[in-house]
Amino acid sequence: MPPIRIFLLLILWFNFFGSVIRSQTQSPSKKEIDKLTIQGTNLRESGDFEKSLLISRMALRQSIAINDNVLIAENYNNVAANYNELIEFDKAIFYYNKALIYANLTQNDTIKQRINNNLGNMYCFEKKKYEKGILYYKKALEYSKKISDSAQIAFTNLNIAWAFFDIGKFKEGEGNLKIINSYYAKNYNDNIVVVLNMLNGMYYNYKNEEKKAEFYFQEAIRLGKKLDEKSDLSYSYLEYSKFLLKCKDYKKAYENLDLYNNLTEEIYAEEKLEKANVEGINFELDEYKRTIDKIENEKDLQYQSLKKSRIIVLLFIIAIFVLLLFLNSLIKNNRFRLKSNSDLMLANAELIIANKKAQESAILKTQFVSTISHELRTPLYGVVGITDLLLEEHKELASSPHLNSLKFSARYLLSLVNDILQINKIEENKIVLDNLTFNMLDELNMIKKALSFITQKNNNKIIVDVDSLIPESLIGDKLRFAQVLMNLVSNALKFTKNGEVKLIATQLKQEGKVHSIEIKVQDNGIGIALDDQDKIFDKFVQVGRKEVDYQGTGLGLSIVKRLLELFGSDIVVESDLGIGTTFSFVINFEHDIKRTNEIINNIQVDLTSSQVFKVLVVEDNHINQLITKKTIEKNNYSCVVVDDGFAALDILEKESFDIILMDINMPLINGFETSKRIRQKGIETPIIALTAFDKNEITDEALTAGMNDIIVKPFEPVQLFKIINCQILKIKSLV
């Protein structure tokens, strides 16, 4: 027989077996239990608590028998309400909680709302546990909103406001009071009118609006007398007396407090009489409680008996169910795999888009840095150039501190621009180390001389100590090496006053042609706190600025760390506050006489000529025109200046020049386009790009346009004439 048919037969047998057991005890219908439940409620409301409990017990037994959680909750709620009326508050809370357990097993929000509201009443107004009661009220309010019962929403908000006001939390209850006021304006209700006026009086008393508070309290008392609401009227007398006491109307406050006491005694006497009437009933209530508990125990025993009779069938069903679960799991796993693949494809597409955006952002960042650096370098060229011209033309100003400060500030700003460009290049992996030959001692002394201005400013001394084992000629990227040392030494000088900075080079070992050299930069300055030593190599981070502004961008040490990483080295810092700081790193340089000679032979030598060369300068900035022209004429060259590319094309039609210095960023027509048109005319005159752009950014475009070389502004005059002579001699050697 196929497995599916066996499974169906087992289910049919299981249902038949269960129906046989159920048929052994005739269960009442839901309609009959509903009728009993309503009867129990009516008896309670009429004051016949004993009969109400008997009927509710019977209805509860039958509700449990048919396993109807709504009816179970209804009957437990009625039992609890009976105990509440009999002033057995602990028993009432016990049964309300049992009712809530069964109500929460249902989808019936109405019964949940009612039970939560009843528990709120018990805890707030009988047990005086306001915070716990308010939580039940708020839960009841949620269910009232679900079933859209505006009346219950209003009543629950009234209870919450009253509870909050009782414990002095008027701000928390303010919103609830507004809701009930809005509801009452549309729906007049005798059951709440006295309390509502009393609560408004309490609220305006809290707000110190005495006229409004007086009105609402008097209205609450008037309506309480009219409607004979003794309990609400007594509370109104009490709150009104508190208000009068606050207003210092002691006589009326006493009168209302006396009215409250008299009415409370009257209510208490009635409750005492009622309690006396039901004392005989209370004697039997514990027995009813035990009977109700027995009902649930009987249900559990019946369930256990039924469970044992079905055990064999359940084993078969469980086995089949496990197989079905396994099959279902396989299907779900397959679907999950397909969905995962789809999600991965979508995520991959999103990553591609995100990567594209990141690349675009990087390009924009590079363009921004390039543009900013160009815009900064152009005026800096003017400042540095004019300062140099002043110092050369007016020798008497050479000792002027103001002019020297101006020159230093301009070069400092230029160094700042170069730092930003440098860090940008390092991050984009655009730096490739060069191989140049240099002398370690000469290099360190050059750094000492270059930083003499900062040394004098802080009254410091620089001591250079080079190990005699270090060869005279080394091969490596001396420019980047010098930049590392310049940053470290200038940093040490900046944080040291009336002290000394030691620049020490020591050979640690030699393996073949490679020499491992340890460089130390020591100072006896302010030192660096231990907590700050891990931060100083981050970008834009500066420490030690609590009392003195040491200036700087915080890029120097970040550049040092990244440049040393290109050398395959790392930097170590040792420092004590008030004692000083030592930066050290180990770097490898090559020593090879044969290779050194090759490098030296390949260096283009500046062959200074006594011949007067004719130079055409194409530049739109008038200050830059002046500086460039004076610099060139100072070297006894002839110089002609034009404002733009079209003027350059016109003059080249009429005159010939030995060399052309071409600005890149010009209006009307830029330097690249001008160079292309010059070459199209067949003019072979060397063209040198004179620009504020970074050299690496424009090299390809410059060569494509027909330019011969690039020099970045601001520049040293020696560098300019070296390139001019080299290009002119190269052209003349080809003729």
Between 32-36, 134-138, 354-358, 621-625, the lowest mean confidence (pLDDT) is in 354-358
> Residue written as tokens 């620049």?
503
Higher pLDDT, 583 or 565: 583
Q: What is the pLDDT of residues 178-226, one digit of tens each?
A: 888 888 778 777 778 888 889 999 999 888 998 888 998 898 899 888 8
Say if residue 287's pLDDT is above 80. no
- pTM of this structure: 0.39
pLDDT digits (tens, 9 = 90+) for 333-348: 888 888 878 888 888 8
Average pLDDT of the segment spanning 580-586: 92
Q: DSSP 3-state assignment of 537?
A: coil
H helix or E strand, kind and range, residue 519: strand 514-523
Backbone angles phi, psi at 509, to 5 degrees: -160, 165
Q: Find out whether 69 and 106 touch, Cβ atoms under 8 Å.
A: yes
Stretch among 72-76, 198-202, 590-594, 637-641 having the lowest mean pLDDT: 590-594
Which tokens sit at 48? Answer: 């016949």
Kind and range of the H or E run holding 256: helix 250-277
**pLDDT tens-digit profile of 432-460?**
677 778 888 888 888 888 788 788 888 89
Residue 293 confidence (pLDDT)? 58
Coil, helix or strand at residue 572: strand
Q: Is the previous residue joined to 714 through a cis bond, with omega within 30 degrees of 0? A: yes
Give the model's pLDDT for residue 560.
82
Average pLDDT over residues 665-674: 88
Q: Confirm if 542 and 550 have CB atoms less than 8 A apart.
A: yes
pLDDT at 584 over 90: yes
Q: Which stretch of DSSP H or E encloses residue 659? A: strand 659-662
Comparing 138-147, 338-347, 396-405, 713-722, the range with the smallest average pLDDT is 396-405
User: What domains sit in the chain, N to C, each tagged with a CATH number?
Assistant: 27-105+280-297 (1.25.40.10), 107-187 (1.25.40.10), 191-277 (no CATH), 433-602 (3.30.565.10), 614-734 (3.40.50.2300)
Determine how many CB atoms are found less than 10 A away from the CB of residue 162: 23
Mean pLDDT of 511-530: 89
pLDDT confidence of residue 583: 92
**Residue 504: what pLDDT?**
93
- For 519, counting Cβ atoms within 10 Å of its Cβ (0-12 exposed, 13-18 middle, 19+ buried), the class is buried
* pLDDT, tens only, 51-70: 888 888 888 888 888 888 88
pLDDT in tens, 302-343: 666 666 667 877 777 888 888 888 888 888 888 888 887 888
Confidence label for 375 from pLDDT (cuts 50, 70 and 90): low
Token pair recorded at residue 367: 């363009």
Confidence of residue 416 (pLDDT cuts 50, 70, 90): low
Predicted confidence at residue 615, as pLDDT, reads 92
Residue 116 has pLDDT above 90, yes or no: yes
Please determine, for residue 642, whether its predicted confidence score (pLDDT) is greater than 90. yes
Q: Give the contacts of 187 (CB within 8 A, at least 6 positions apart).
A: 150, 151, 154
**Nearest-CA neighbor of 370 among 693, 665, 713?**
693
Tens of pLDDT, residues 141-173: 888 888 888 888 888 888 898 889 888 888 888
Q: Report yes or no: 167 and 130 within 8 Å, Cβ to Cβ.
A: yes
465 strand-pairing partners: 504
